[in-house]
Amino acid sequence: MGQGDPGGEDCYRDGVIRSTGVFLRESSGAGTIQHVDLSLKQYGSGLKSSGDDTLSEVSTSGTRNSQSNAARRRAERRRIETGARKRRADAKAAEEALDKRRTEHEEYLDKLREKQFMERKAYRESLSLSRFFRLPVIE
């Protein structure tokens, strides 16, 4: 079999590379991935894929693609739902933290108002008492 021949041992194509892609691994490596459509060949009473010595029925690439597309859609839907749940939980936690902060601020303002009230009351009492009693001024 020479270079440029169309296929395998029986001169039929074993498969066709449909697309090739490059990806990056989380471990900072790179890799390639290929979509290969294997050819189905009739041998006796059954089908077999190229390079396979046993008879078996092999799903076509269209079925594989629809199954993998469905799996991808399910995974994407799960990813979206997980993200939505996380955003809802984050929003709830932020709202609870904001409510807690508002409550703390209101408590602080109440204490401040009470303190100011008591200081004013004490000042007024000191003014009213000073009318009756002239306190010596200490220099």
| pLDDT tens per residue, range 36-48 | 877 766 555 445 5
Give yes or no for a contact between 12 and 42, defined as CB atoms under 8 angstroms apart: no
Task: Choose between 89 and 33: higher pLDDT.
Answer: 89
Q: How confident is the model at residue 66 (pLDDT cuts 50, 70, 90)?
A: low
Q: Which residues of 66-80 are buried (b: 16+ CB within 10 A; e: fewer)?
A: eeeeeeeeeeeeeee
How far is residue 111's CA from residue 86's CA, in Å, rounded to a whole number? 37
How far is residue 13's CA from residue 50's CA, in Å, rounded to a whole number? 9
List the one residue out of 64, 54, 51 whose CA is nearest residue 13. Answer: 51
Report the pLDDT value the prediction gives residue 110, as an integer from 0 to 100. 95
How far is residue 125's CA from residue 118's CA, in Å, rounded to a whole number? 10
- For residue 4, pLDDT over 70 is answered with no
- For residue 28, pLDDT over 90 is answered with no
Query: How much of the chain, in percent, has pLDDT values that exceed 90?
Result: 33
- pLDDT of 74-97, one tens digit each? 999 999 999 999 999 999 999 999
pTM attached to this predicted model:
0.38
